[in-house]
């Protein structure tokens, strides 16, 4: 084998090794992204326990948090806003937006 052919063979082998290493790194990054965090966002409406008292029935919120905890999610944030009701039964409501996260599987 001539010197030029040997040199070309070594260069090709080195290039192939580098390409294989890069491919393995990319696959590892893809696996890491696939194993990243997952999120769930829930809207829960809280109603006044007794109209006009300002006491809120948090049963629905508690159930939602416990249900997601049982699924392996943890509560990250809860944001609330008051929704004024003008219906027959009146009574304001609180809209809670709960965000949960879980490490990827």
Confidence category of residue 91, pLDDT binned at 50, 70, 90: low
Is the pLDDT reported for residue 15 higher than 90? no
Confidence at residue 50, expressed as pLDDT on a 0 to 100 scale: 59
State pLDDT tens for residues 48-76.
665 555 566 788 889 999 999 999 999 99
- Of 49, 50, 58, 45, residue with least CA distance to 84: 45
Q: How far is it, in rounded angstroms, from Cα 73 to Cα 104?
A: 10
Three-class DSSP labels, 46-100: EEECCCCCCCECCHHHHHHHHHHHHCCCEEEEEEEEEECCCCCCCCCEEEEEEEE
d(CA 97, CA 43): 5
* Mean pLDDT, rounded, for 8-26: 86
The distance from CA 90 to its chain's CA centroid, rounded to whole angstroms, is 36
Average pLDDT value for residue range 77-85: 85
Report residue 97 CA to chain centroid gap.
Answer: 14
Where exactly are the structural domains of the chain?
1-34, 38-102
Structure-block tokens of residue 33: 């992204």
Task: Give pLDDT, residue 88.
Answer: 65
pTM: 0.58
């Amino acid at each position: 084998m001539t010197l030029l052919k040997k040199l070309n063979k070594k260069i090709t082998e080195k290039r192939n090794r580098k390409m294989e290493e890069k491919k393995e790194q990319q696959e590892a990054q893809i696996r890491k992204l696939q194993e990243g965090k997952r999120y769930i966002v829930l809207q829960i409406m809280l109603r006044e326990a007794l109209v006009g008292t300002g006491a809120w029935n948090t049963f629905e919120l508690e159930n939602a948090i416990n249900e997601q905890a049982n699924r392996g999610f943890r509560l990250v944030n809860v944001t609330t806003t008051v929704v004024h009701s003008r219906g027959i039964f009146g009574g304001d409501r609180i809209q809670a937006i709960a965000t949960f996260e879980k490490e990827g599987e």
